[in-house]
Amino acid sequence: MNESSCPLLEAQSKPALWNHMRVRYQRAFPVAVGQYITEIDMNNETASTRVLSDTALAKFLKIREKYDPQGLFPNYRAIVRTHAKMDKLDSRAKL
> pLDDT tens, 63-94?
999 999 999 998 888 888 888 888 888 787 66
| 2 belongs to a structural domain | no
> pLDDT tens, 17-43?
878 877 887 787 777 665 555 555 556
Instruction: With a cut of 50, say whether residue 1 has pLDDT above it.
Output: no
The CA-atom distances, in angstroms, between 65 and each of 41, 69, 75, 91 are 23, 5, 13, 28
Residues ≥6 apart with Cβ < 8 Å to 40: 25, 47, 51
User: Any idea what the Cα angle at residue 29 is, between residues 28 and 35, rounded to 5°?
Assistant: 95
| 49 belongs to a structural domain | yes
**Domain containing 35: what range?**
7-94
- Compare 79 and 50 and report the one with higher pLDDT: 79
| 1 belongs to a structural domain | no
The arithmetic mean of pLDDT across residues 5-16, rounded, is: 68
Give the model's pLDDT for residue 44.
Answer: 62
The CA-atom distances, in angstroms, between 12 and each of 6, 17, 42, 50 are 10, 10, 20, 30
- Compare 34 and 6 and report the one with higher pLDDT: 6
pTM for the whole structure: 0.53
| 20 belongs to a structural domain | yes
Q: How many domains does the chain have?
A: 1
Other beta carbons within 10 Å of 31? 7
